Amino acid sequence: MATQRVHEQYGGVVPELASRAHQQHLIPVVQEALRQAGVTKAELDAVAFTQGPGLLGSLLVGSMFAKTFALALGKPLLAVNHMRAHILAHFINEPRPTFPFLCLTVSGGHTQLVVVKSPQTCR
């Protein structure tokens, strides 16, 4: 896991520093994720990336990497909503929530209270 401790001295995220840290850590984090998952790049079915909401610089770094990575591998590219991904991450492991449920999501500058009726209906 990569952290961005550089922001601690400022009391919050500094967008320019965040995007630079994304550039520095992105490739090592992807390599480590593949290693931990026990898969190779060739075994991936698709490449997903956060389309937003979020900090523009960091989103651009991630989207450009994902587009290049997917193109190089000949894999489909999937744009994902940042906040919806937080909600649906609850389905990665057991126990999984049952529908409908209410989800409070707090992520950086984004906070939302969402009624989740199905994987496709997060409003």
pLDDT tens for each residue of 13-23 = 787 888 888 88
CATH superfamily of 5-93: ATPase, nucleotide binding domain (3.30.420.40)
Which one has a higher pLDDT value, 4 or 42?
42
> What angle is formed at CA 32 by the lines to CA 29 and CA 35, rounded to 5 degrees?
155
Tell me if 64 sits within 8 A of 57, measured CB to CB.
Answer: no
User: Is the pLDDT at 2 greater than 60, yes or no?
Assistant: no
> Mind listing the pLDDT tens digit for each residue in 50-88?
998 888 999 999 999 999 999 999 999 999 998 888 898
Domain ranges in the chain are: 5-93
What pTM, to 2 d.p., does this model score?
0.79
CA-based nearest residue to 57, from 115, 123, 4: 4
User: Can you give the pLDDT at residue 73?
Assistant: 97
DSSP 79: E
pLDDT band at 12 (very low <50, low <70, confident <90, very high): confident
